[in-house]
Copies of this chain bind each other. A is one copy, B any other.
């Protein structure tokens, strides 16, 4: 089953946004066994979009569009597909009521141009959108299947995961499948990873391996093609085992697992709580942990102390420590960790103090960071150096803190866990 993805939107052609929808869709479609053979990006121009749609109809069975379902005049994807398919439409009262409710919830009246979003081509199936006002559309025409999705990535995911994948799997069953798994690594870069498993990559055609860097971590993707998911699953397991032999100490999770999620589960499992004392990470470690639903079960709070005065007044770091060693020191980091634990009454206290750049402070090098974790009767501090730009450094610093917390909580509870 050949798929073409058509990404619409002048903002893509201007380079204003990165086309992450295409990656998301192609990853998932490949996993389900579809052959994604073409992707075309075209602007919000009727003539050119029509041309591109007609070309896709000649070479693909399933044509998926993203973008152009919004309420503005620039949003022409649905209208152009209807033109290409010579299909009229109707105002769907169900969708319209949902749009009204969506705006009512925000306490505003629906702008009249939103009516456009409730128009459905005759004979089309509606793919409900749980994250926005524009539903997706499934339309069959001349033996081809058109699937129209909105542009915002959160809405694309909502529709795909709650509706589209199921419908597609049912409709196009029995074509074999592609399965892939992501392994997440910390404490090692992309090129060193590649070097370590060079032989594995070279001699491998199925499953395949791909390595890349993403949001502060290194990723290995294992992709297997097989008749069914059981066989593909075994192929992936075997490959993962080989990778664990070479890179085991760097691999911390798989697929959608994040460091924050792993730390959260670990705290829940040990019935423990945590608090942060953040300086140069500016609240980001806390924010990452609170991205996890239910984090109020184990996250008690944080003190973001950006000044020495705040470190002294709120976290009770001794003035003598700050004077003698500076804020960027293991001594300050340790006091911050112990004191934030006591302040919040949590099982663990994690502190971060350093410099995220771009300018130096305290005559210490840019990117120097101390991260400490305090538990019932111990405190442990690590020294790190980060060498990216400010926001990337902040992310890496926060992830390193979560990572250190995981390691320490695991090793502290090792005996308990083994007894279980």
Q: Is A43 an interface residue (CB 8 A)?
A: yes
Known interface pairs A55-B55, A113-B194, A300-B306; A282-B291 also in contact (CB < 8 Å) = yes
Nearest chain B CB to A37's CB is how many angstroms away? 6
Whether A70 and B105, one on each chain, are in contact in the complex, defined by CB atoms closer than 8 angstroms, is no
Determine if A27 and B14 form an interchain contact, defined as CB atoms under 8 angstroms apart. yes
A18 within 8 A of B: yes
How many chain A residues touch B (CB < 8 A): the figure is: 120
A290 vs B131: C-alpha distance when bound (angstroms): 29
Q: Is the CB of B309 within 8 A of A345?
A: yes
B70–A291 CB distance below 8 A: no
Q: B74 touching A210 by the CB < 8 A rule?
A: yes
Instruction: Write out the residue numbers on chain B whose beta carbons fall within 8 Å of the beta carbon of A13.
Output: 26, 30, 36-39
SS class of chain A's interface: helix, strand, loop or mixed? mixed
Bound complex: CA A191 to CA B108 (Å): 12
A313 to chain B minimum Cβ distance, whole angstroms, is 8
The answer to whether A107 has its CB under 8 Å from any CB of chain B is yes
Contacts of A22 in B (CB 8 A): 15, 19, 41
User: Is A287 a contact partner of B282 (Cβ separation < 8 A)?
Assistant: yes
Per the bound structure, the CA–CA distance linking A163 and B299 in Å amounts to 45
Residue A343, interface by CB 8 Å: yes
Identify which of residues 124-160 in chain A touch chain B, using a CB-to-CB cut-off of 8 Å: 131, 133, 151-152, 154
Q: Which residues of B contact A43 (CB under 8 A)?
A: 37
Q: Is A410 an interface residue when CB atoms closer than 8 A count as contact? A: no
Known: A41-B38, A299-B306, A390-B291. A385 touches B284 (CB 8 A): no
**Complex CA–CA separation, A371 to B62 (angstroms):** 47
- CB A331 to nearest CB in B, in angstroms, measures 20
Tell me which of A27, A39, A41, A285 has the highest count of chain B C-beta atoms within 10 A of its own C-beta. Answer: A41
Kindly list chain B residues whose C-beta atoms are within 8 Å of the C-beta of A111: 191-192, 194-195
Chain A, residues 101-112, CB within 8 Å of chain B (1/0): the string is: 010011110111
Question: Which of these, B112, B281, B294, B301, contacts A314 with CB under 8 Å?
Answer: B301
Complex CA–CA separation, A106 to B387 (angstroms): 8
A396 to chain B, nearest CB (A): 11
| Residues in B whose Cβ lies below 8 Å from that of A55 | 55
Residues of A with Cβ closer than 8 Å to B?
Answer: 7, 9-20, 22-28, 30, 36-45, 48, 51-52, 55, 59, 70-74, 102, 105-108, 110-114, 131, 133, 151-152, 154, 180, 182, 189-192, 194-195, 198, 201-202, 210-214, 221, 223, 276, 278, 280-287, 289-291, 293-296, 299-307, 309-310, 313-314, 343-345, 356-359, 361, 385, 387-392, 394
Q: List 9 A-B contacts (CB under 8 A).
A: A13-B37, A13-B38, A15-B23, A72-B211, A108-B189, A108-B192, A111-B191, A113-B191, A296-B306
